[in-house]
Amino acid sequence: MPSLSPARRVAFDILTLVEDGAHSTDLLHERTAALDGRDAGLATELVLGVLRRQPQLDYLAGHFSRRDPAHFDLEVLLALRLGIYQMRYLERIPPHAAISESVEMVRRARNRSATGFVNAILRKVTREDVRWPGRAVELCMPQWILRSWEEAYGEDAATAIAQAALEAPETYLRVPAGASAPEGADATAVPGCWRWPKGPAPEGFRVQDIGSQSIVPLLGLEPGQRFLDLCAAPGGKSLQAAETPIRGVASDRTLARARDVAAQGVPTVVLDGTRPLPFPVGLFDRILVDAPCSGTGTLARNPEIRWRIQPEDLDNLHERQVKLLRNALKCAAPGGRVVYSTCSLERRENEETVAEALQGVTGWRLERSHYRLPGSEPGDGFFAAVITST
């Protein structure tokens, strides 16, 4: 009996778990660790590619089977998505390998009766062009998200954002002032941020997206200042801020993922930032509120978010964000600065959050805000608002 290759076994298992609510990036990190580099690369490409292209793959599964894929068993649907993705979107996979491995996935999932069905459908798959049934399938983005971006940024920018979410994200390294960038890295417009064009990141350098690295400079940190990073985990921005000799505190609801921050000697506090904060009023010169958000600026990296997030989730996030920002403002020193940021592209989580948090608050004003939009600027999408004392 043919056996399933390690990359496809891991990809199939991860896609099954993602259907149950798990995060693809976390699982890829865990489950590709034991694979060799080539298998890890293929598993990553398969998982993220299938999640990004899901509506096109399901449309093609329906097109080649002449059935509604909504009625397929999950293991059949996933085996078809994986098979069609390899046969139509990848260049180097022989079709017979893609077909036999998808058949094997269904057999391994103990659905023997469906093996012939999967085999027959995949044998019909060609690379001929198809007409997608609409923009949501063509751009692989839920209609409501596209509409929200079209209203906020216009149709061309919305298309560019969605197209950027179909590509694998580039790798960026953090290179603190005084350290040398590795050979082959390209300088970027963000100080200390270097693009790494060569595959796996070199040892000794922290990977941090360019959009993420663009936030800390907005704080204008100066040596000796008291700094609070209210939502610090996993800690990329806290570590970047600590490159300046400040008196920093990193807090979060959970710091389990922020071990590097504590290891760098930055004091850490576990707290719920929506509740009154355990710091004196006006203590901090600079505060960063890098709030929990929908993450719609990171869809190239976290592709399943777009299939999970619902419009009503934005209201819940907005409420939490307003509380976090209001609490932060109470701890900011007169003459200080608070930066509110998210990796969301949704106005509800950004402009509307800042406006509501500032309502009725004296002594603080919105100085400026801006978006980094994927497709227009490199890296993840981000929003940042700089709030200063009046």
Ligand X SMILES: C[S@@+](CC[C@H](N)C(=O)[O-])C[C@H]1O[C@@H](n2cnc3c(N)ncnc32)[C@H](O)[C@@H]1O
By CB under 6 A, residue 233 contacts ligand X: yes
**Residue span 188-227 as binding mask against ligand X, x where in contact by CB under 6 A, dash where not:** ------------------------x---------------
236 belongs to the binding site for ligand X (CB under 6 A): yes
Judged by CB under 6 A, which stretch of 99-107, 125-133, 191-199, 234-242 contacts ligand X?
A: 234-242
Respond yes or no: is residue 231 known to be catalytic. Answer: no
Smallest distance from the beta carbon of 373 to ligand X, in angstroms?
Answer: 18
Q: State the sign of the Cα–Cα–Cα–Cα dihedral 91, 96, 99, 104.
A: negative
The least distance separating ligand X from the CB of residue 344, rounded to whole angstroms, comes to 9
314 is an interface residue for ligand X by CB under 6 A:
no
Residue 333 main-chain phi, psi, to 5 deg? -75, 145
What's the CA gap between 195 and 173, in Å, rounded? Answer: 6
**Residue 292 found at the interface with ligand X (CB under 6 A):** yes
* From 78-86, 94-102, 231-239, 365-373, span contacting ligand X (CB under 6 A): 231-239
Q: Does 375 bind ligand X (CB under 6 A)?
A: no
232 binds ligand X (CB under 6 A): yes
- Distance separating alpha carbons of residues 272 and 294, to the nearest angstrom: 19
Determine the Cα–Cα distance for residues 130 and 226; give it in Å rounded to an integer.
Answer: 58
Pick from 176, 191, 281, 275: nearest CA to 228? 281
248 lies in the binding site for ligand X (CB under 6 A): no
41 SS3 class: helix
Pairing of strands 268-270, 247-252: parallel
Q: In what order do the strands lie in the sheet with 284-290?
A: 268-270, 247-252, 226-229, 284-290, 332-342, 382-389, 364-372
Q: Which one of the spans 18-26, 158-166, 271-279, 330-338 is the region binding ligand X (CB under 6 A)?
A: 271-279
**379: region left, alpha or beta (phi > 0 left; psi from -120 to 50 alpha):** left
Residues in the chain: 390
Q: Cβ 254 to ligand X, closest distance in Å?
A: 5
According to CB under 6 A, which one of 13, 58, 101, 290 is a site residue for ligand X?
Answer: 290
**Angstrom distance (rounded) from CA 353 to CA 356:** 5
Q: Quick check: 374 binds ligand X (CB under 6 A)?
A: no
- For the annotated catalytic residues, the residue numbers are 343
Binding positions for ligand X, rule: CB under 6 A: 212, 231-237, 252-254, 272-274, 290, 292
